[in-house]
Chain A
Amino acid sequence: MSESLLDIRNLNVSFQTFAGTVNAVRGVSLTLEKGETLALVGESGSGKSVTCRSVMGLLSKNATIEQGEILFRGSNLLAKSDKEMQRIRGKEISMIFQNPMTALNPTMTIGKQVAEPLRLHQKFSRTAARRQAQELLELVGIPSSTKRLNDYPHQFSGGQRQRIVTAIALACGPEILIADEPTTALDVTIQAQILELLKELRHTTSIIFITHDLGVVANVADRVAVMYGGRIVEIGKVEEIFYNPQHPYTWGLLRSMPTLDDKDGELYAIPGSPPDLLSPAPGDLFATRNEYALQVDAHYEPPLFQVSPTHYAATWLLDDRAPSVIVPEAIAARRQYYRQRQTGLTAKEGLL
């Protein structure tokens, strides 16, 4: 196999807190290939942001990278000095965050803010940077006029601010864009526009997209990694995760989503709360919320079992010795659609 653009290997990150050590990321391995959009999904606290901040070298002071490597074009980012990371950040790998307001400087015009990385990394002249800034803003759909460049962040709407942040992140033509819940705080109509924008970028930029909304994932992703309690519990192509899911947690996430169909009965809800990473129980951290838990889950965390060359899931249900189970109706319907889809007998129009 050819070398991946980004290759995270067995990443383990912990935090020292007053209450003790929080093992936030526990053995995460994943790759990002050139030109793809990889979605990281999972509920709050599952370790999505910490994984991405590790890539950026932006972890807080109380964090320790206990183990692992992050290879970017073959070289380990974790071995780089702060100065080397500064050169990579914003130039080769950039990140956009959930709240665009905190990412923008309220006292600086947006023209200056978009031009700044160009001046810093590319040594553009002031006028060249300004011209480029105008082009970038146009690219992200901010109606460009010289006047708009002189406006301040508060003069833009929430959706426009997220576009501006995206323009800044794209300024130096990064190879990787990490988008950490970029649409969670936005209205659905604005979210739809930002998702369109990110999809237009996919030809030039590889994207890691963090979200807790599987609807958004279905819209943007080529591949999906589902995180739970600091681990990846299922990873695969978008059609494998949505139409042939293997992990009961993925089942739960899918079943708790509102659907288009008529049945307005009860919504499924995953019982319980996210795991406590301060004093984790032994065994599989999802076991207490998992109606499909086996006895072995109480003692051992399951490894990632291979489902296909591109699809893996960490559930003991995939072990040869596991009993066969009756999967929830909604999931069985998804799998049936998957089988039909594989045979080419059905038009790829979705489940409805």
Chain B
Amino acid sequence: MTTNISDLLRVEGLTQTFKSGTGIVKAVDNISFSVYEGETFGLVGESGCGKSTTGRTIIQLYKPAAGSIFFDGVNLSGLRGKKNWLQFRRDVQMIYQDPYASLNPRNKIKDILGEGIDVHKLAKGAKNRNRQVAELLETVGLNPDHANRYPHELSGGQRQRVGIARALSVQPRLIICDEPISALDVSIQAQIVNLLKKLQQEKRLTLLFIAHDLSMVKYISDRIAVMYRGKIVELGDARKIYHSPLHPYTESLLSCIPYPDPDLEKNRRRIIYHHHEEASGSLHQIFPDHYVYCRPSDVAFYQQKGASKEAGGLDLVSITPTNTGILEGVVE
């Protein structure tokens, strides 16, 4: 397979399985996508669809059951040597959903932030290290005197800022954000999204932003992939995903976001998606850079659906290629 020059990350046919009590769980099922240098790529889907497994496999916490991962053009299965691995561990950082569980409660914030600086020998002496810590705190909107506090002394939003500062401490190229806002109040979510967006622009970072619903993702993503049961069912430009979603699962996810508008909520219809296995399905290009998981024979249908949505014909109401099966009901 070809690797585009602007691809910082390329995931190719990735499958990941786990042994469970009775058999094997296919957590990720043959997915492929690229994250371009400097963009924010949103990976969205409901709990259990395989988002975290994808993220963890990318950072090489697990070996893929099948498929390959390329970082900066290099196939990681062929990466050799301690120095190269250390560099990879520095280039790719992760931010977690539960900032509390991911910060050592016995360490002061300055030591949590200093750890990566030490491992990668990024500071010249203690004074320089302290200065870097102070700068990191300022970058994420915390006070320098937070350096001497412990994680439990901070609010949820402040802890997530520490998580972000820790990721930034080693000057990474790619940050995988695994539901960094899901555990936060809605009002604090906006703070963190804005902060990540600002940092991404200022530091020319590449972000893989994982979320379980689509509501906040549009504010930060350039492109979005929607996952369902281990598969990517739709991938495209963020605006396209929002304004002319094609796959019925994407439509369902969008229709279920409640908006702060009571009159609108009274009139909205929720679309319920019922799973329908497409034996011969795979990700097909419907429009340039817009892909949908379907059978080859459904491509024309989705092209037509997209065209009529663009023309403003269809709103939240969903239609499906088969008329039965995929979409069995619409409530309210």
Q: Give me the interface of A with B, judged by CB distance under 8 Å.
A: 43-44, 158, 187-189, 191-193, 195-196, 212-219, 221, 238-239, 242-243, 252-254, 256-260, 262, 264, 266-271, 273-274, 341, 348-352
Contact = CB atoms under 8 A, between A and B. Distances in A.
A242 B262 contact: yes
Given A252-B187, A273-B157, A239 B262 contact: yes
B263 interface: yes
B102 interface: no
11 contacts: A188-B213, A188-B215, A189-B256, A191-B256, A191-B258, A215-B258, A238-B262, A257-B186, A262-B243, A264-B218, A266-B194
Contacts of B188: 43, 269
Nearest to A268: B190
B187 A196 contact: no
A221 B197 CA distance: 33
B187 A269 contact: yes
Given A43-B188, A158-B47, 4 more contacts: A213-B258, A257-B259, A259-B260, A269-B194
B239 interface: yes
Nearest to B217: A258
A310 B219 CA distance: 36
Interface residues of B, number: 45
A257 B264 contact: no
A253 to B, nearest CB: 6
B272 interface: yes
B328 interface: no
Contacts of B213: 187-188
B155 A218 contact: no
B258 A216 contact: yes
A189 B219 contact: no
A213 B187 CA distance: 9
A243 B156 CA distance: 30
A163 to B, nearest CB: 15
Contact of B191 (A44, A217, A260, A269): A269
B185 interface: yes
Contacts of B46: 187-189
Given A215-B258, A256-B186, A273-B158, A264 B239 contact: yes
Nearest to A352: B264
A252 B188 CA distance: 11
Contact of A219 (B185, B189, B191, B265): B265
A189 B190 contact: no
B262 A351 contact: no
Contact of A349 (B47, B185, B239, B264): B264
Contacts of A187: 46-47, 212-213
A241 to B, nearest CB: 9
Contacts of B191: 269-271
Closest A-B pairs by Cβ, 3 of them: A350-B264, A215-B258, A269-B190
Interface string B232-253: 0000001100010000000011
B257 interface: yes
A274 B187 CA distance: 11
Given A189-B252, A350-B267, A258 B187 contact: no
B216 interface: yes
A273 B215 CA distance: 23
B268 to A, nearest CB: 9
Contact of B219 (A44, A158, A262, A264): A264
Contacts of A349: 263-264, 267
Contacts of A212: 185-187
A218 B185 contact: no
A218 B261 contact: yes
A239 B265 CA distance: 12
Nearest to A259: B259
Given A189-B46, A348-B263, A218 B258 contact: yes
A257 B264 CA distance: 15
A252 to B, nearest CB: 7
Contact of A258 (B194, B215, B238, B263): B215
A90 B51 CA distance: 39
A158 B47 CA distance: 10
Nearest to B213: A188
A274 B260 contact: no
Contacts of B265: 215, 218-219, 350
Contacts of B252: 189
Contacts of B47: 158, 187
Nearest to A256: B190
B260 A214 contact: yes
B185 A43 contact: yes
A46 B238 CA distance: 35
Interface in B141-172: 155-158
B257 A188 contact: yes
Q: Which of B155, B257, B259, B332 has the most CB of A within 10 A?
A: B259
A175 to B, nearest CB: 25
Contact of A257 (B156, B243, B260, B332): B260
Given A218-B258, A350-B263, A192 B187 contact: no
Contacts of A341: 263
Contact of B270 (A192, A260, A352): A192
Contact of B193 (A193, A254, A267): A267
A212 B184 CA distance: 10
B279 interface: no
A256 B192 CA distance: 11
B259 A270 contact: no
B331 interface: yes
Contacts of B239: 264
B208 to A, nearest CB: 19
A217 B260 contact: yes
Contacts of B33: none
Q: Which of B185, B216, B258 has the most CB of A within 10 A?
A: B258
A215 B186 CA distance: 10
Nearest to B156: A44
Q: Which of A158, A213, A260, A273 has the most CB of B within 10 A?
A: A260
A262 B239 CA distance: 8
B100 interface: no
A188 B263 contact: no
B229 to A, nearest CB: 13
A349 B212 CA distance: 28
